[in-house]
Amino acid sequence: MTAKGIHIEGLSKRYGEGDTAVLALKNVNMQVAPGEVVGLIGPSGSGKSTLLKCLGAVIDPTAGRMVLGNEVIFDDEWKVRDLRALRRDKIGFVFQAPYLIPFLDVTDNVALLPMLAGVGNDDARKRALELLTALDVQHRAKAMPSQLSGGEQQRVAIARGLVNRPPVILADEPTAPLDSVRAMSVIRILNDMARRFETAVIVVTHDEKIIPTFKRIYHIRDGVTHEEAGEGRSFE
Amino acid sequence: MISLAGRDILHAWGKFIFTGIGLGLLIGVTLTMAGVYRGMVDDGKVLLDNSGANLWVVQRDTLGPYAESSSIPDDLWRSIRTLPGVAEAANVTYLTMQVGRGEKDVRAMVVGIAAGEPGTSGWPPQLVAGRQITRGHYEAVADIATGFRLGDDVKIRRNHYTVVGLTRRMVSSSGDPMVFIPLKDAQEAQFLKDNDAILMQRRRTGANPAFNRPGVPGLLDAVIASQTSNNSVNAVLVRIQSEYSPQEVAEPIRRWKRLTVYDRAQMEEILVGKLIATSAKQIAMFLVILAVVSAAIVAFIIYTLTMDKIREIAVLKLIGTRNRTISGMILQQALVLGVIGFVVGKITATFAAPLFPKYVLLMPIDSILGFFAVMVICVLASVVAIRMALKVDPAEAIGG
């Protein structure tokens, strides 16, 4: 995999037609380099979730261009045929709640993605264990999600997002349910993993605790983004 | 690839097992209903087998002796016996009634058998205890299902009989156990009036000057005797010689004796196609209703189980799980539920069948058909849940 981060130009999304049309995203431009973690912040209804869904290939943008790694995936229309495979192989997701599959143990929750991509069970589990070790939850590898603490669940969710080595990770409020210590731990892990796997990470957040840790922040309001430098504080 | 359905089932095994047990009880009832129908058919066939006859000679244009009443003279068997191809002809009467058993009574088919020896048509072919009837009056052989034991007293009409033998699986087409008594006693039982009625009739006959003629002594006694005796039987059971076909023997009886004759196939058609046809339709309706209820329950359970996993399904779709993997998961769960239900149902039906008052025959073919029907029902029932799962938008996992 060649990691080139994600590059977005002039992305717009319109809901509805005619008089009832709502322009949720207006000419959004973003660029996140491999190994970089940027924040995406904005009030409710500003278009954060719409942007995340467009980047996650779960809704169709109306216009614009998106380049993921070396590949143009959208240029006024999708350039990849199988969006499901795109999501599976090229985009990692970390959600507000971990949303682990309750009937799979920790290892298989992480190994499921490579398995879905056709990797053999043993290889997929080996890959999952490597990540769980990197995230320091290898000792819970056989536990069920319900047996984990909130912080452990979120680390497993991060491992799941990373397991297919995607060029980009979309994290939707990943620290919302966590206290400040665990929230900082998650942000540190995301930064470590981004550097280690050369993954571009976009963190959508309202969390005042973690906003100062970003070196770059995209503000979004009424579907329009503008970039500013962040404080880039230490995670401790 | 791991089995998502298998993991989900193992994770929530209690839910699946208890749901499967509930479904299984319903399937058990369905299999038992099929067994009740099979039992009725088998009762009819056993009735014919045990009679030992190849042909049934009955009153003209009747479906006797089992499906309709039939009355023919009791000396007719002699002339039938002389026809070509007839190896044996024996009178028989059938009367379904309540027979006294101590203070209580039991429903039974009282069979009047002609004098003869074991193996004679109409006689019980084998006994499980005691002996066959050897006296001309007041001895009985009873099916074990009547509850009688050897030496018990059976009250039929006014007369008392002693149980000298016990037999098994000797039942009427409606499942009533049989009680065999001598033919003469049975003929009397069929037409015996109560004492008051006899007294009244004698008085009425005596008052009739046509019967009570002073110049014809003995006429009144003869008339009264004829009124209280019965010279009819319900059928003549005919056993044919091996070198003759049933049709060859039946045809002369029909032509010369002006009687109706049924062979085994025709009698089976009467019993199965006519006598129990309404019951069979009733049971078929129950089976259809039970199948629909089973399908509805499976559909509801699978739908509910899928609804509980909407968020997980959205996540699975978001991370790239194919629709067929998700559909397969739901379908497999429905099938597993069906298998659990079928196993429970089969065990339930097997243990419950002997407890039924009538014979319940669980045939392997019904179980096999039932299994496939359950599988088809489960597949159809999972369609609603699969459709719903496929409509889940992966964007739901992101929220916003």
Contact list, B395 vs chain A (CB under 8 Å): 53, 56, 58-59
In a domain, B313, yes or no: yes
- How many angstroms separate the Cα of B226 from the Cα of each of A101, A116, B149, B233? 91, 94, 36, 16
Amino acid code (one letter) for B257: K
In a domain, B112, yes or no: no
CB pairs under 8 A between A and B: 82
Distance (Å) from the alpha carbon of B15 to chain A's nearest alpha carbon: 13
d(CA B7, CA A103): 6
Residue A89 touches partner B, C-beta closer than 8 Å: yes
**Residues 174-193 (B) with a CB less than 8 A from some CB of A:** none
Residue A90 touches partner B, C-beta closer than 8 Å: no
Is there a contact between B2 and A115 if contact means CB atoms under 8 Å apart?
yes
In a domain, B293, yes or no: yes
Is there a contact between B10 and A102 if contact means CB atoms under 8 Å apart?
no
d(CA B213, CA B219): 7
**Residue pLDDT, tens place only, B61-118:** 999 798 888 999 989 999 999 999 999 999 999 999 999 888 888 999 999 999 888 8
Does position B298 have pLDDT exceeding 80, yes or no? yes
The answer to whether B172 and B66 are in contact (CB under 8 A) is yes
The label of the residue with tokens 């976009």 reads A202
Amino acid code (one letter) for B126: Q
Residue A113 touches partner B, C-beta closer than 8 Å: yes
The answer to whether A171 and A201 are in contact (CB under 8 A) is yes
Nearest-Cα residue of chain B relative to residue A85: B320
Is there a contact between B320 and A85 if contact means CB atoms under 8 Å apart?
yes
Band of the pLDDT at A3, cuts 50, 70, 90? very low
Q: pTM for this one?
A: 0.77
In a domain, B236, yes or no: no
**Residue pLDDT, tens place only, B73-83:** 989 999 999 99
**pLDDT of the residue at A1:** 42
d(CA B120, CA B8): 65
d(CA B40, CA B54): 21
**Residue pLDDT, tens place only, B241-279:** 999 999 999 999 988 878 999 999 999 999 888 888 888
The label of the residue with tokens 């399904």 reads B313
Residue B14 touches partner A, C-beta closer than 8 Å: no
Number of domains in chain B: 1
From the number of C-beta atoms within 10 Å of its C-beta (0-12, 13-18, 19+), residue B130 rates as: middle
In a domain, B264, yes or no: no
Interface test with chain B among A116, A160, A164, A220, by most B beta carbons within 10 Å? A116
Of the candidates A50, A88, A103, which has its C-beta nearest B8's C-beta?
A: A103
**Residue pLDDT, tens place only, A145-180:** 999 988 899 889 989 988 988 999 999 888 887 788
Q: Which of A69, A13, A77 is nearest to A225 (CA)?
A: A13
Share above pLDDT 90 across residues of chain B, in percent, rounded to a whole number: 51
Does position A2 have pLDDT exceeding 60, yes or no? no
The kind and range of the H/E element at A224 are: strand A224-229
Mean pLDDT throughout A101-107?
Answer: 93
Is there a contact between B318 and A53 if contact means CB atoms under 8 Å apart?
no
The sign of the dihedral angle between the CA atoms of B25, B285, B359, B96 is positive
Least confident of B141-150, B305-314, B340-349: B305-314
Half-sphere exposure of A1 (CA within 13 A, CB side): 18
The answer to whether B66 and B270 are in contact (CB under 8 A) is yes
Does position B124 have pLDDT exceeding 60, yes or no? yes
Does position B399 have pLDDT exceeding 80, yes or no? no
d(CA A39, CA B124): 94
Contact list, B5 vs chain A (CB under 8 Å): none
Band of the pLDDT at A233, cuts 50, 70, 90? confident
Band of the pLDDT at A106, cuts 50, 70, 90? very high
In a domain, B189, yes or no: no
In a domain, B26, yes or no: yes
Does position A235 have pLDDT exceeding 70, yes or no? no
What residue numbers bound the domain in which B311 lies?
4-43+277-397
The answer to whether B70 and B58 are in contact (CB under 8 A) is yes
Sheet holding A6-15, edge to edge: A22-32, A6-15, A63-68, A71-75
Is there a contact between B319 and A101 if contact means CB atoms under 8 Å apart?
no
Mean pLDDT throughout B351-374?
Answer: 91
The kind and range of the H/E element at B91 are: strand B86-101
The answer to whether B53 and B235 are in contact (CB under 8 A) is no
The answer to whether B55 and B214 are in contact (CB under 8 A) is no
Band of the pLDDT at B375, cuts 50, 70, 90? very high
In a domain, B285, yes or no: yes
Set out the domains of chain A in order of their start, with CATH numbers. 32-61+78-229 (3.40.50.300)
Cis peptide before B65 (omega within 30 of 0): yes
Share above pLDDT 90 across residues of chain A, in percent, rounded to a whole number: 47
Does position A199 have pLDDT exceeding 60, yes or no? yes
d(CA B350, CA B373): 18
Is there a contact between A103 and B400 if contact means CB atoms under 8 Å apart?
no
**pLDDT of the residue at A147:** 94
Interface test with chain A among B312, B318, B327, B333, by most A beta carbons within 10 Å? B318
Nearest-Cα residue of chain A relative to residue B321: A116
Contact list, B7 vs chain A (CB under 8 Å): 103-104, 108
Does position B400 have pLDDT exceeding 60, yes or no? no
**Residue pLDDT, tens place only, B166-186:** 999 899 888 899 999 999 999
